[in-house]
């Protein structure tokens, strides 16, 4: 399950920290098994926690069959009703037992083969929080223009409010030392998780380390769930936690 090393960009990566991958999912019956197999194929996750957030499309039935298979490193948790991505992540964080927690969406937009690139700065002690940025020159499928505008606007607001220089606050690929987030009071239930956790990390005085990642964005017709209304909510979240603990 755990190779001695991987090779990002030709440099040896030595794994010394244990890794929990948390996968929140809601109605991902077509992509959940492929992403789980991709995470397993990388061979760096000591623990994979899947949190089903009240799926109604057959995802739960798929997970029930997975529970019958010999995957001792996989734990599956269920929300009886849909609560939102933030709520699923809070459940996953509380259950995590390894040194490091990495968030992996259940769709196929982010590539687990980039785990060594994400984890290497953590192993080297550069920061307790690593973000994978879609805007630092990695290959990416063209994203919807207004989606990009919203992402960059929210990232700019983050930088202004919290004196940071992030390039991609809304990225899925966020990696934390477990002690940073396990006891963090996170109120977000939906996509406002991203700005809330970022705000609280920066208010702790932790400088977030970014690395370039690839991105294969999916269209709304393919099941993308974030909506334009999530933008104003995210902005309000950033403003609120700048002044409120």
Say which CATH number the domain at 232 has: 3.90.550.10
* Residue 73 maps to a domain: yes
* Residue 10 maps to a domain: no
Residue 231's pLDDT is 80
Residue 1's pLDDT is 45
In the chain, the number of structural domains is 1
pLDDT along the chain (245 residues), means of 10: 44 85 96 97 97 96 92 95 95 97 95 96 96 87 77 94 96 97 91 95 97 80 56 91 87
Residue 245's pLDDT is 75
* Residue 4 maps to a domain: no
Residue 5's pLDDT is 42
Residue 113 host element (H or E): none
* Residue 5 maps to a domain: no
Residue whose token pair is 């294969």: 216
What DSSP string describes 137-203?
S--BPPPPHHHHHHHHHHHHHHHHHHT---S-TT-S-EEEEHHHHTT------STTHHHHHHHHHHH
* Residue 150 maps to a domain: yes
Residue 221's pLDDT is 47
Give dist(CA 30, CA 61) in Å, integer.
12
* Residue 1 maps to a domain: no
Residue 226's pLDDT is 60
Residue 208's pLDDT is 98
* Residue 168 maps to a domain: yes
* Residue 180 maps to a domain: yes
Give dist(CA 5, CA 187) in Å, integer.
37
Residue 20 host element (H or E): strand 19-25
Residue 13's pLDDT is 74
The reported pTM is 0.90
The domain of 171 spans: 18-243
């Amino acid at each position: 399950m755990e190779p001695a090393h991987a090779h990002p960009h030709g440099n040896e990566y030595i794994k010394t920290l244990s890794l929990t991958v948390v996968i929140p999912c809601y109605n991902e019956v077509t992509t959940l098994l492929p992403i789980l197999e991709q995470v397993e194929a990388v061979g760096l996750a000591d623990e994979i926690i899947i949190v089903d957030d009240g799926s109604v499309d057959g995802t739960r039935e798929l997970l029930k069959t997975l529970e019958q298979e010999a995957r001792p490193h996989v734990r599956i948790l269920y929300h009886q009703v849909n609560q939102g991505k933030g709520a699923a992540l809070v459940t996953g964080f509380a259950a995590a037992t390894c040194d490091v927690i990495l968030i992996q969406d259940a769709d196929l937009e982010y590539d687990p083969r980039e785990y060594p690139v994400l984890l290497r700065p953590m192993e080297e002690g550069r920061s307790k929080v690593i973000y994978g940025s879609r805007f630092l020159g990695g290959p990416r499928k063209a994203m919807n223009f207004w989606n990009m505008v919203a992402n960059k606007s929210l990232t700019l607001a983050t930088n202004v409010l919290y004196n940071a220089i992030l390039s991609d606050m809304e990225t899925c690929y966020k990696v934390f030392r477990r002690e940073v987030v396990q006891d963090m009071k996170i109120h977000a239930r939906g996509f406002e998780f991203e700005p809330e956790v970022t705000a609280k990390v920066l208010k702790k005085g932790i400088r977030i380390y970014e690395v370039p990642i690839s991105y294969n964005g999916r269209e709304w017709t393919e099941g993308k769930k974030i909506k334009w209304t999530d933008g104003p909510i995210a902005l309000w979240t950033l403003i609120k936690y700048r002044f409120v603990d």
